[in-house]
Structure formats: structure tokens, C-alpha cells
A and B are shown apart, each in its own frame.
Chain A
Amino acid sequence: MMLGRLLVPPTVRKGEAFEIKVLVQHPMETGFRRDMNGQSIPLNVVNRVVCRIGGREVFSAELGSGVAANPYLAFFATADAPGEVEVEWTDDRGDRGRVSAAFGLA
């Protein structure tokens, strides 16, 4: 399980956009680097990030090798009811990560 951090306002206004911030710990190996012994380090990047609110997908992104290590994403969403923001991601090795945070309505 990979480590990530998620920042969601504790309360949001109904129907109004609020910012969701995600930080994922990942080396984002490009596949072009070599280790100390000259062996090629295989490509391994977070290839897909999905954000759901109450089970409904509100944002997804496909990342590639051009994204720096420890990707940081910030985006906006709206909600009509209190619930849980859930962010999931997978990398090329099949490792998964998940973070979630609850929010209420102001």
C-alpha cells in the first residue's frame, strides 16, 4: 500500500466548488534511468488516479513518465450532500494506494 495525503475542506457549501489536494509518494521511474550497477530501472509510474465522492467518479487522470516524483494534484469538485472523498491510484507494477477523507455541509 502506497502512502498518500489528501486535503479536503472539513465543510463545503452545497453546489459550490471546493478544492481537493492529493499528494502521492511515488518515485515515478521513467524507465530511462540506470542503477549503480548499470542495470536499467524499469518504467514504473502512477498511471491512473481516480477521485470519487460518495462512489461517483468526479475526477480521473492518466499520468505518464513526464510527471515528477511524488505527484501533487489539485482540482475542484462540487457536492450536494455530505460524504467521503476517496482517491485511488495504481502504478505500472500493479501496486495500489487509497486515501479518503470525510466532509460535511456548511
Chain B
Amino acid sequence: MRALAVVLALATGAAAAEIAQPQPLKGGIEFQGADVRALQADAFANPGMLWVARGERLWSQAASGGPSCAACHGDAKRSMHGVSARYPKHDAALGRVVDLEGRINACVTGNQKSAALAPESEPLLSLSAFVASQSAGVPLAASIDGPARATFERGRALYFERQGQFNLACNQCHDRNWGATLLAEKVSQGHPADWPAYRIEWQALGSLQRRLRACYFGVRAELPAFGSDDLVALELYLAARASGLAGSPPGVRK
């Protein structure tokens, strides 16, 4: 076990050395109350599982213009295991870094020859929740080397940039003040491992981008558009910053 830990430390060491990872790494669920933790852990009562169930159905349904997801990818339990833990990822065919939703949409428009799914739409969230749920318990391992480097640096710059009327940067809450109380909430370390997640405030499942926009709104900053390069870059920085942390999507948050 110790040998394994050393190997893991070596593997993530390169990334960890240049990213200020909060110590110890704590998933977002650890900052939630007992009721929310119980709801996330209960595979039946977790409302996010409704989206997973719908996504499972969509997975094997033929698209309007092409084959179903299952026709190429087969059984998602095997083919999608650990996949979402490596996202956002540079896609050579697209020539840019995409997050999981972006990758699904690229498949929908490219391979299924169908109209792109709207951001935060039911089918897109269902599919991303279903795919992400296959990687529950897999530690995040987004690559920031090679072509993803520029996007990562952009995300890092955004993370440390003061924004909005409150003039706050992400790191001021999520690096320096995690664990502190903000109104009725505990400030989390800002890790993306459990997303997409069901947020009780929204009464619905939402993507990480929606959650990031909520933070932008909170500091009274201009909201970046869904799918914008800024949001994807920030997602990549957060994923790299949380590397080694295992999530259990779909999460539940207050």
C-alpha cells in the first residue's frame, strides 16, 4: 500500500509541484451537512440518479441522424470507466480542449450527425451524468502537458485574477479560506470531482460550468457564456488542481 502511494505521489508529483493544491485535499461533499452527505451516498434517493437513469436510456437510443452511443462505445460500464476523470482534455480532431459536455456534443454533431444539444439541456446533462457516473471512485487525472498547456495556463491566470464588483479571485476563498463559514455555508476547496451534481438550490442537476457561473454571479462579475474558452480553461485548471481526488458523480450540493 505504501509503495503504491509513493508511485502515485511520483506520478502526480510533477503536476502537484507547480499547482498549489490545498492540503489535505478534501472533496466538496465534506463541506456539506450530514443530510446532504446521506442523500449523495444513497444511490436510490440521490436525485441526480434520475438524470443518470435517463442518460442510460439515451445511451442505447439511436440518434436522429446516426447511430446510438452504444453502437460505437458498447457497454458504458466498461468503455466509459474512468473516462470523465481525464476531462477536460485536448481533442486532436477538434484542435482544442473540451470538457465532457463539449466532447459529447462533438460526438452528437460529428458522428451522430444530429443537432448540437443545448447547454444545460435535459439530454446533454443526462448523458454527461451517466458517463461521469461510470468514473465514480476514480481519481481525477487531467493532462496538462503538450497541447493542453496553454489552456491550463489560461485557467490558472483566471483562477488568480480578481473579478467582479467584489474584486475577488477564486483563490481568495478556495485556497486561503476553505472551511470558513460564508453565510450558512462552508467554503469548499472548489474541486470538480463530483460534478455534474444535483444542487438543491437549483432543484435540478447542473454542469460544472453552471456552478462556475454561479460563482461569477456571486462576486458580481460578468458571466462567461456556456462552452466559452474561459470556462473550459478554468475547468481544466480545477481538474488538475484536484488531481488524485476521487469523486462520486452525480454529487449532491446545497
User: What's the nearest-Cβ distance from chain B to residue A22, in Å?
Assistant: 10
Contacts of B49 in A (CB 8 A): 5, 23
Interface segment among A38-46, A55-63, A68-76: the answer is A68-76
In the assembled complex, which residues on chain B have CB atoms less than 8 Å from the CB atom of A70? 47, 50, 203
Q: Which residues of B in the span 32-57 have a Cβ within 8 Å of any Cβ on A?
A: 44-45, 47, 49-50, 53-54
Query: In the assembled complex, how far is the CB of residue B113 from the closest CB belonging to chain A, in whole angstroms?
Result: 26
A18 to B203, alpha carbons, bound, how many Å? Answer: 29
A14 within 8 A of B: no
Cβ of B204 within 8 Å of any chain A Cβ, yes or no, is yes
- Partner among B50, B200, B204 whose Cβ is within 8 Å of the Cβ of A3: B50
* A22-81 at interface with B (beta carbon < 8 Å): 23, 25, 27-28, 68-70, 72
Q: Given A3-B54, A70-B50, are A27 and B203 also a contact pair (CB < 8 Å)?
A: yes
**How large, as a class, is the contact surface on chain A?**
10 to 19
State A70–B203 Cα separation when bound (angstroms): 8
User: With the chains together, A70 CA to B252 CA distance in Å?
Assistant: 13
A23 touches B203 (CB 8 A): no
Instruction: Closest B residue to A68 by CB, please name it.
Output: B203
Chain A interface, DSSP helix/strand/loop, else mixed: loop
The residue among B47, B49, B54 with the most chain A CB atoms within 10 A of its own CB is: B47
Determine if A17 is an interface residue (Cβ-Cβ < 8 Å): no
> Given A70-B47, A72-B45, A5–B53 Cβ distance below 8 Å?
yes
What residues of A have a CB within 8 angstroms of the CB of B45 in the complex?
A: 21, 23, 72
Whether A69 contacts B53 by the Cβ 8 Å rule is no
In the complex, A7 has a CB within 8 A of chain B:
yes
B203 nearest CB neighbor, chain A only: A69
Given A5-B50, A68-B200, 16 more contacts at CB 8 Å? A3-B50, A3-B54, A5-B44, A5-B53, A7-B44, A23-B44, A23-B45, A23-B47, A23-B50, A25-B47, A28-B203, A70-B47, A70-B50, A70-B203, A72-B45, A72-B47
